[in-house]
């Protein structure tokens, strides 16, 4: 039976994954670009600009800008929908699939190296919860 991860463990894995992605030799993606990329690669297609905007609750121009960058990097490709020429489909690419495999490997390594639950400081002791309460 798998052990349930705590929020602190998950945020640590996320941090380690992002740091590894930043340190690797390759382009960096913004949070929005990464969100669009992961939605395209992990979600059922076909994907459209309108559908991605709705799924991520952002504007269509924001999706278009993210897709512009993903297209420059060959991580995604746009193609006119043959059934509705007004609509544009977003397609996966070989290079994008390779990035997703690399991300999975990095995240798996980060998860394997994650400290045990008892190794995390209590957020109340380090002021984390107090900071969150002030912001929220």
Q: Which residues of the chain are under the pLDDT cut of 70?
A: 1-3, 116-136
pLDDT of residue 3: 62
pLDDT of residue 81: 87
Q: Which helix (H) or strand (E) holds 13?
A: helix 7-23
Query: Would you state the torsion angle of the CA atoms of residues 113, 118, 121, 124, taken in this order, to the nearest 10 degrees?
Result: 140
pLDDT of residue 85: 87
pLDDT of residue 36: 97
pLDDT of residue 38: 97
pTM of model > 0.85: no
pLDDT of residue 6: 87
Task: Assess contact for 110 and 124: CB atoms under 8 A.
Answer: no
How far is Cα 112 from Cα 83, in angstroms, rounded to an integer?
46
Helix or strand or coil: residue 115? coil
């Amino acid at each position: 039976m798998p052990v349930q991860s705590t929020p602190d463990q998950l945020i640590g894995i996320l941090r380690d994954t992002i740091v590894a992605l930043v340190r690797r030799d390759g382009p960096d993606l913004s949070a929005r670009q990464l969100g669009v990329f992961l939605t395209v690669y992990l979600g059922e297609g076909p994907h459209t600009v309108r559908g991605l905007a709705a799924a991520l609750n952002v504007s269509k121009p924001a999706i278009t800008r993210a897709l512009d960058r993903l297209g420059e990097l060959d991580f995604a490709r746009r193609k006119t929908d043959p059934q509705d020429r007004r609509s544009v489909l977003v397609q996966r690419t070989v290079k994008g699939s390779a990035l997703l495999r690399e991300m999975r490997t990095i995240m798996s390594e980060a998860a394997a190296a994650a400290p045990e639950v008892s190794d995390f400081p209590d957020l109340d002791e380090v002021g984390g919860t107090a900071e969150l309460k002030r912001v929220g």
